[in-house]
Amino acid sequence: MIGAHYTYAEVPYFEGLFGSERNNYDKVGHFFQGFVPALLAREILIRKAIVNGKVWLNVIIVSICLAFSAFYELIEWWVALATGEDAEAFLGTQGYIWDTQSDMGLALLGAITSLLVLAKIHNNQLIKLN
């Protein structure tokens, strides 16, 4: 809930983390932007029996997470265009030209991590429900 009080660039405890000159709080959010939707997408796709095969299931889940991440980045861009000079405060890029790409990369990492760490637990829970 700490992120709701501050802008990305001003969240305490993330200043200079790992020797960085920027505040990396937004990177945590983008990791979870992939991690959490992966679980939701997996649940829906399995329960509705939409995809056959484990490999295709994982490919589609990761694709869904990347689509959400890309849409969020587009929203950030549209708000930046609409607000003009105040865009830097909203975006939280802090002068980092690869911010959008690293945000989407962290969402990808979050989705893959979610699948690797939680798929077996999720499968066991689904078996118990049936």
- Give the angle subtended at the CA of 61 by the CAs of 60 and 65, to the nearest 5°: 115
Q: Could you tell me if residue 1 is inside a domain?
A: no
Q: Could you tell me if residue 33 is inside a domain?
A: yes
Q: Could you tell me if residue 15 is inside a domain?
A: yes
**Helix ranges (DSSP H) in 10-98:** 25-47, 54-83, 87-91
Q: Could you tell me if residue 16 is inside a domain?
A: yes
Note if the pTM is more than 0.75: yes
Q: Tell me the residue range of the domain where 116 lies.
A: 6-129
Q: Could you tell me if residue 112 is inside a domain?
A: yes
pLDDT 10s per residue in the chain (130 long)?
565 666 656 666 666 655 566 667 778 888 999 999 999 999 999 999 999 899 999 999 999 999 999 998 898 888 878 877 666 655 555 667 788 898 899 999 999 999 999 999 999 998 898 7
